[in-house]
Structure 1
Amino acid sequence: MQNLEQELKERLTTLQDNLKKANLDAYVITNQEDVWYFTNINYKPEQRPFLFVVYPDKKPLFIVPKLEVDHFTVSYFDYEMDNYFDVTSKNGENWYDVLTKYLAPLARVGIESNGELLVTRFTPNINWETRFLIQNQRMLKSEYELDKLQYVSDVCSKVVQQTLKISRKGTKVMDTYSIAMKVGAEELAKNFSLENRTINAVWPAKFSFMPHSIPDVNATLGAGPNIDIALFNLQGYAAECERTFFVEEPTDEERKHFEQMMMARKIFLENLKPGKKASDIEKVVDSYFEQEGVLNRILHRPGHGIGLNNHEWPTLSLGNDDILQENMVISVEPAIYFENHGGYRHSDTAVITKDGYRLLTKAPTDLEDLILK
C-alpha cells in the first residue's frame, strides 16, 4: 500500500487534470472534509474562512487566518500560503480582499458545489463557475482508502457482534452504548484524533420505528424489533453496520416484516454492480415493497455513499442517474418502519467490485441467528 504523501500527490494531480479538461484557471475549496481529503490537515473554521485554491499547473494556495498560519505548516507537499487578519478586518486585509487579489485576473474560476455562499457573495469581481469535481473524485476510492475503510469496518463489525452477545431481555440501552465508548478510547490512544467517532447503541422497538430518534439510555430491550446502530469514523474514514434482532420469540407479523426487509436486501445486492444507474437500486427495492403492500412504510433511500463521512455521494435513490462504478463504497440498508411497532433494517458497508460487491462489515443476518433469548 502506498504512503500518505504519495496518496495526496495523486489526489491533487487527478484534480489538476480535471481542471485542465474543464478549462478552469483555478478551483476554490472551502469544505472541511474536502480540504482534509487533499491535505490531511484537520481544522475547525471558528467563523474564519479557510480557502484552499488549486491551480491546473502550479502549486496550490492556502489562504488562512493569521491565527492559523503555523498550524498549516506541513512538510509533505509543496504549496504557497497567504493570510488575512480575522473574520472581519480593516479594508484590504479581509479574506475576500486577499482571495480577489489572486483570482480576479483569471478568466474562469471554479468552486466546489458545497462551497460557502458567502465566498461568492463577497467576491463579485471573480468569474465563478460551480462544479462537482471533488464530489465525483471522492466517490471512487483508491487502494489506500479501501484499506482504511476496511479497518474501520472491522472495528465497527466487532462492536455490533459484541452488542449482540450482551443483548437480552432487560438489557439497558446504556450497556450497549458503553461498548463503543470503550473501543473509542482504545482507538484514540492508538491514533489520536478529535474527529474519531464511535457511536453504537440499540434502539428498542418503541424507538426503532424512528431511526433518527434518540433512545432513552435507561430504556431496556424487550419484545419487538430492536435495532443496533453503529456509526464509526476512525483514521478519517467511516463505516456503518446495523442489525435488527429480537430478545423474545417474534410474532408471525414480525417474522413477515423481517423477511420482507431481507428480501429487499437480497434484491438490492443482486442489482449492485458496475454499469447500473444509482436510481435503479431504489427502483427495484420500491417495486418489491409495493408488491408486498408496504411501500408507504419506507422513510428513506435504500443506500448512500460512504467515505470520509457516513453520508456522501453517490446517493442510491431516484433522481440520481449516475452510473455505479467499481470502487464506490456504499451502505446497504433497505428498510421498513411501523409506527408504535418498530423498524426493520440491516445495514452494511459495501464496496462495488468489478463483478458485483464485497461487504466490508460483517455480522449475523438471518432471523434465527438474531433471536437472542
Structure 2
Amino acid sequence: MTTELRRAPEITADEFGRRRSAVWAGAEAAGLSALAIFYPARIAYLTGFHHVPTERPLVLVLGPEAKTVLVVPAVEKEHAESVPGVDRVEVYFEYPGEGHPLKRLARVLRSLFGSGSVGADHDGVVPYWGYRGPRLSELLGAPVVDGEMLVETLRRRKSPRELECIQVSCEWAARGHRRMQEAIRPGETELECYAPAELETLREMIRSLPGWRPRSFGGNGVTAMFVEGRKTAYPHGFVRGHGLQPGDVLVSGASADIDGYHSELERTMFMGEPNAAQRDAFANMMALQARAIEALRPGLPMADVDREVARFAGELGCADRLRHHVGHSIGLEGHEAPFLDRGEEAVLEPGMVLTIEPGLYFPELGGFRHSDTVCVTDLGHRVMTDYPRELEELVIPVHR
C-alpha cells in the first residue's frame, strides 16, 4: 500500500498581486505617489521574495497601479529577477560602494513617481551587520510618511491559504516533536537527542511533500529542540550541552517552514516522575494556558487576555513567577504584531493566528511553559497544534 503524496501549500502569484493592490490602494488614499518597503518580512509578504538580510540594502518600491520595483545588490540579481509580478529590478553592485546604494533608490523614486509624497515602512534601512547610511528623507529633501501599517494591518488577518500553510506547519512540528521526545535519553546532551530527530523529520518532509523546500533563510526547514534543567528558568534559556539527569525539567520548541510560514509548539516535559513542587507548577501553568485559550473570541481587546491571565495567576498565588505576556501573533515570522499584552491596543479578529504561552519560572525548579498555535474564528477560536499536553504524557522514562 502506497501513501499518496500531498504537495505543501504555497501562496499563489495572484494572492501576492492582491496584497500589493490592497497596499497600494491604501497608499493612494493617503495621497502617496510611492511607497518604499525595507523590512524583509514585508517584502516577502508582498512578493514572495525571501532573502538573506545583510549590510546590503534591499528595497521594494510600490507605485501607481501597484507597479513593483526591487532595488537589490548584485548578489541578489538573478534571485530577484525570478520573482513573478516584479515589474523592474534595479541592481547596484555592492555596499558601501562608490555611491551609497540608497542614492539609487532616491533616483528610482524621483524618475518613476515624480516629486509627490513618498511613504516608507522605515525612514531608511534598519541598521544590520554594520550598515550605515542616510535617512530616506535626507536623500529626498522632504519628510517621509510612515507607511508601516499599510502592510502590517493586512498581515494581521491570515488568508485561507496562509492558514493552510500554518496548519501544515503545525502538523510537521508535531511529527518532529514526537520523534524528538521518543529519542530523549538520560545522560545524553540536548543536541544529541534532538539533532538526529530534526534531520530525520527533514528527510520525511522531503520524501512526503513533492517540491517542498524551506523558504525562510536561517534554518533547515524544521525545528524540534529543547532546553533542560534549571536553564529552563530563563524564558529564553540556552542549550548548554549538559547531560540529562533524572528530575530535570525540559522545555521544548518545534516548528516547520511551509512556504515561509511558521507555527509554534512548546511543551514542558520531565526526566522521570516530577516531584510535588514540579507537579504544582505544571498544573498552574496548564490552568493559565487553558484560561487564555478559553478567552479568545472576536472583538475582545487583546489586552484583556493578558490581564485575565495575570489576575488568575494572582488567585493561584504564582503571579510573581510570570516573566512575559501571554503570546504573540505568528506567520512569516516567529514573532509578529499584535501581541496578547496588557499594553496592546488591538482587538481580536477572525483570521488572526496567535501563540498561547503563559509561562511560570522558578530558579529552584525550572521553567514551565506550553505553547500552542491558535486561530481566532468567527465563532471563537481553533487550536491548530495537536500534541499531548497532560503531565503523564510528557514524562520521559529514565530507564529505556
- Alignment TM-score, normalising by the size of structure 2: 0.85
CA offset at residue 363 of structure 1?
0.9
Matches within 5 A, 1:69-80: 69-74=77-82, 76-80=84-88
Aligned to 2:73: 65
CA offset at residue 369 of structure 1?
2.3
CA offset at residue 338 of structure 1?
0.1
2:39 aligned partner, one-letter code: N
Q: Deviations over 1:289-337 (max 9, x none)?
A: 1222222211111100110111111211121110111111110101100
Is this contact kept in 1: 2:232–2:251, CA < 8 A? yes
2:298 is aligned, of 271, 274, 291, to 274
1:177 paired with 2:195, answer: yes
1:351 paired with 2:375, answer: yes
2:43 is aligned, of 35, 44, 54, to 35
1:313 is aligned, of 328, 334, 337, to 337
Is this contact kept in 1: 2:120–2:144, CA < 8 A? yes
Distance 2:326 2:100 in 1: 45
Identity %: 25
Distance 2:75 2:335 in 1: 31
Aligned to 1:285: 309
Comparing 201-210 with 332-341, greater Cα deviation is found at 201-210
Is this contact kept in 2: 1:176–1:200, CA < 8 A? yes
Comparing 258-267 with 113-122, greater Cα deviation is found at 113-122
- For structure 1, the residue ranges without an aligned partner over 5 or more in a row are none
Aligned to 2:106: 100
Alignment coverage as a number of residue pairs: 371
Cα distance, 1:326–1:157 mapped onto 2, change above 3 Å: same
Is this contact kept in 2: 1:172–1:221, CA < 8 A? no
The alignment partner of 2:70 has SS state of strand
Cα distance, 1:126–1:61 mapped onto 2, change above 3 Å: farther
Matches within 5 A, 1:236-251: 236-251=260-275
Matches within 5 A, 1:42-53: 42-53=50-61
Distance 1:321 1:133 in 2: 17
Matches within 5 A, 1:194-273: 195=217, 196-273=220-297
CA offset at residue 186 of structure 1?
4.5
Aligned to 1:9: 17
Is this contact kept in 1: 2:233–2:361, CA < 8 A? yes
Distance 1:286 1:191 in 2: 41
Is this contact kept in 1: 2:327–2:358, CA < 8 A? yes
Aligned to 1:154: 171
Cα distance, 1:23–1:259 mapped onto 2, change above 3 Å: same
Distance 2:170 2:300 in 1: 25
Aligned to 2:5: none
Aligned to 2:347: 323
Distance 2:257 2:333 in 1: 7
Distance 1:304 1:241 in 2: 13
Q: Deviations over 1:120-170 (max 9, x none)?
A: 265241430123222221111111111111111110011222233344554
Aligned to 2:6: none
1:128 paired with 2:144, answer: yes
1:99 aligned partner, one-letter code: L
Distance 2:205 2:271 in 1: 30
CA offset at residue 68 of structure 1?
3.5
Is this contact kept in 2: 1:84–1:94, CA < 8 A? no
Cα distance, 1:114–1:159 mapped onto 2, change above 3 Å: farther
Is this contact kept in 1: 2:185–2:193, CA < 8 A? no
Is this contact kept in 2: 1:96–1:122, CA < 8 A? no
Distance 2:285 2:16 in 1: 40
Cα distance, 1:344–1:50 mapped onto 2, change above 3 Å: same
Aligned to 1:192: 213
CA offset at residue 78 of structure 1?
4.6
Aligned to 1:81: 89
